[in-house]
Structure 1
Amino acid sequence: MQVAATRKIVVLGTGGTIAGTSSVAGANVGYTAGQIGVQQLLAAVPALAQASPCNLEAEQIAQIDSKDMDFSVWARLAGRCAQHLADPLVAGIVITHGTDTLEETAWLLRELLAASRPVVLTCAMRPATALVPDGPQNLLDAVTLAAEPSACGVLMVAAGVVHGARAVSKVHPLRLDAFASGDEGSLGWVEAGRVRWAHGRAPAVTAPRHAALLPGLATAAWPRVEIVHSHAGADGCVVDWLVDKGVRGIVVAATGNGTLHRALEAALARAVAAGVAVRAASRCPEGRMLAIEGAPWRDAEGLSPVKARISLMLELMDGA
């Protein structure tokens, strides 16, 4: 009799505070991120064996502080996720990540991956050597979420709260529940080893807009796209300098409902005339700008400035 192969959850490590250590016993700050390998992180949480009926497999993608995330790590991570999702035995993927750029990585993966199964990012605000680290519980919750049959798409879980890739952002520099989803709200919670969805059902997966880029992402030239802010006294000199240096795209973090200082607005118009793609996002952490009319650039479709930058890079790479 042929024995059926066991399904698995793949845990991809990239470093971050969850893998950080401090030379000061019990310290919550002043640590070095990305010091502990993902296999060691799994071994430190014995309860993982009961969190899922699937086998766990670990793979180290990178070992960095996420403030130093770069295009090569993004390409490697996205490529490995795609390969694992193509394996029918993979029930889900967990990614351990630093908090600083987690929301950017989540949105990149959301734009690239056809994730009919869950791809769950998790993190920690305290290093592994803290007196009471939060990483082990977050990792346990992430595996629970990745094993949930109804889950799909790119998700994030920390402090027991499940967020979607589009809305999640880091909103606090220190507290354990450092992430929020603005007025869109969280998708659900992991409570006592079970997933409870906010609206009684899992969110549906949405098709990625740039999946065609994945095969060549490792060798692709990432276009230079920068973020500028509209603020009191803005004069547009930064925009003119960026255009002179060959920038391909600019995301402007506008005030309120997409308003811009008049000097900055004039500089952005010059950039568009020079062939630079411009998108406008709001500086406001909640709500969504109304669609822009009568301007030579588009709005960011409700994305934060950092996520709008990722989308614009991918659009330029895709020739959109």
Structure 2
Amino acid sequence: MDIHDAKAKRVVILGTGGTIAGTAADPGDNVGYQAAQLGVAQLVAAVPALAAVALECEQVAQLDSKDMDFATWKLLAQRVAAQLAREDVAGLVITHGTDTLEETAYFLQRVLAPKKPVVLTAAMRPATALQTDGPQNLLDAVAVAQDAQATGVLLVFAGVIHAAEQVRKAHSYRVDAFVSSDGARLGLVEEGLLRWVAGLGPARPGLGLEILAQAVEDWPRVEILFNHVAADGRLVRALLAQAGGDRPAGLVVAGTGNGSLSQKLEAALREAQAQGVRVLRSTRCDAGPVTASGEALPSAGALSPVKARVELILQLLSEARA
């Protein structure tokens, strides 16, 4: 749909900071900038085409996404749910930093599984750059948030629409930094027009805001480990030796290939499992699922290690309320 034909569809833009809101003293500096310097209303004002759209802005947080935390996640989920409950709101856009965007997207999808679109977007270059990418990404995100076919938590970046479950940041500096595993992109935004190339699979039910009721400082600790040459399990045992609340409740292991583990690392993880620590097995590969097997440690499926960690935290929170 053309963004200029959508004046009646209200979009709420929630700001959380990130590079898209960053500034640098030198317009030619795309590295030495300060993230999260501009408010979300300033970002909107810098895109003249958005003046034709019914918009509201809300600043939920103002941080560099490398510093994203559970408290901000909880607040963001609450604000997203509150805005989606409004009948006059067609969808939401969330401006975010790129570093942990994929984790936030998956968290929101698993907790809320929204029927209306919740579109995250970001930038690889600060707002003061000579060729900043933020304004176009924001304009495209608003177009997707108004589209009748859009649903669930999505990422719109560099003209591509991704689903929350499989999107990953795959490049450290290019403006097309995000990819979807196995090429599973959903669509494209071309000069304000959406072209859907794939459909979303059936969404799992959201776990619900009530699982976030526990104080964030008491959320379960889940750590990520990697399999690699000479992985011997000492890190696992060091974590198990920690006392009280410092001991992790869960471990995600990024295995090699199809989630394979060295014998010593697997033995240590099975010790952890026997002591009540939950274990999920992911892969350090960029794409492809970990095949489940009755004899192997539990599989995280097609989730990346960081998303498997989010999933395990949410599972533990849900079980704690059961």
Query: For the superposition of Structure 1 and Structure 2, which TM-score range results when normalised by the shorter chain?
Result: over 0.9
For residues 254 and 212 of structure 1, the distance between their equivalents in structure 2, rounded to whole angstroms, comes to 32
For residues 266 and 292 of structure 1, the distance between their equivalents in structure 2, rounded to whole angstroms, comes to 17
Q: Deviations over 1:149-183 (max 9, x none)?
A: 11110000010000000110000001000000021
Measured after TM superposition, the shift of residue 212 of structure 1 is 5.0
Whether 1:8 and 2:10 are equivalent positions in the alignment is yes
Whether 1:116 and 2:115 are equivalent positions in the alignment is yes
Paired residue for 1:287?
288
Q: Deviations over 1:2-40 (max 9, x none)?
A: xxxx64210000000000001223311111110000010
Measured after TM superposition, the shift of residue 285 of structure 1 is 0.5
Paired residue for 2:32?
30
**TM alignment of 1:3-82, pairs within 5 A:** 7-50=9-52, 54-82=53-81
For residues 273 and 214 of structure 1, the distance between their equivalents in structure 2, rounded to whole angstroms, comes to 26
Measured after TM superposition, the shift of residue 217 of structure 1 is 5.8
Measured after TM superposition, the shift of residue 219 of structure 1 is 5.4
Whether 1:263 and 2:260 are equivalent positions in the alignment is no
Amino acid at match of 1:284: C
Matched-pair identity in %: 54
For residues 291 and 19 of structure 1, the distance between their equivalents in structure 2, rounded to whole angstroms, comes to 42
Whether 1:251 and 2:252 are equivalent positions in the alignment is yes
Q: Deviations over 1:254-278 (max 9, x none)?
A: 0111110111111101101110000
For residues 222 and 234 of structure 1, the distance between their equivalents in structure 2, rounded to whole angstroms, comes to 28
RMSD: 1.7
Amino acid at match of 2:128: T
For residues 197 and 49 of structure 1, the distance between their equivalents in structure 2, rounded to whole angstroms, comes to 25
Paired residue for 2:311?
311
Paired residue for 2:93?
94
In structure 1, stretches of 5+ residues that fail to align are 1-5
For residues 198 and 244 of structure 1, the distance between their equivalents in structure 2, rounded to whole angstroms, comes to 50
Measured after TM superposition, the shift of residue 220 of structure 1 is 7.3
For residues 22 and 212 of structure 1, the distance between their equivalents in structure 2, rounded to whole angstroms, comes to 38
Q: Deviations over 1:92-113 (max 9, x none)?
A: 0000000000000000001011
Alignment TM-score, normalising by the size of structure 1: 0.93
Measured after TM superposition, the shift of residue 302 of structure 1 is 1.2
Contact 1:38–1:60 under 8 Å retained in 2: yes
Paired residue for 2:299?
299
Amino acid at match of 1:233: A
For residues 181 and 259 of structure 1, the distance between their equivalents in structure 2, rounded to whole angstroms, comes to 23
User: In 2 relative to 1, CA 191–214 (structure 1 residues): closer, same or farther, beyond 3 Å?
Assistant: farther
Contact 1:12–1:94 under 8 Å retained in 2: yes
Contact 2:113–2:206 under 8 Å retained in 1: no
For residues 143 and 155 of structure 2, the distance between their equivalents in structure 1, rounded to whole angstroms, comes to 12
**TM alignment of 1:62-211, pairs within 5 A:** 62-199=61-198, 202-203=199-200, 206-211=203-208
Whether 1:235 and 2:214 are equivalent positions in the alignment is no
Q: How many residues align?
A: 310
For residues 299 and 312 of structure 1, the distance between their equivalents in structure 2, rounded to whole angstroms, comes to 11
Amino acid at match of 2:41: Q
Contact 1:153–1:205 under 8 Å retained in 2: no
List, as ranges, runs of 4+ consecutive aligned residues in structure 1 with deviation greater than 4 Å. Answer: 217-220
User: In 2 relative to 1, CA 217–140 (structure 1 residues): closer, same or farther, beyond 3 Å?
Assistant: farther
Measured after TM superposition, the shift of residue 194 of structure 1 is 1.0
Amino acid at match of 2:289: R
In structure 2, stretches of 5+ residues that fail to align are 1-7
Alignment TM-score, normalising by the size of structure 2: 0.92
SS at structure 2 position matched to 1:31? coil
Measured after TM superposition, the shift of residue 288 of structure 1 is 1.5
Measured after TM superposition, the shift of residue 203 of structure 1 is 2.8
SS at structure 1 position matched to 2:194? strand
Q: Deviations over 1:50-106 (max 9, x none)?
A: 4xxx51000001110000000000000011001111111110000000000000000
Measured after TM superposition, the shift of residue 213 of structure 1 is 3.1
For residues 209 and 243 of structure 1, the distance between their equivalents in structure 2, rounded to whole angstroms, comes to 32
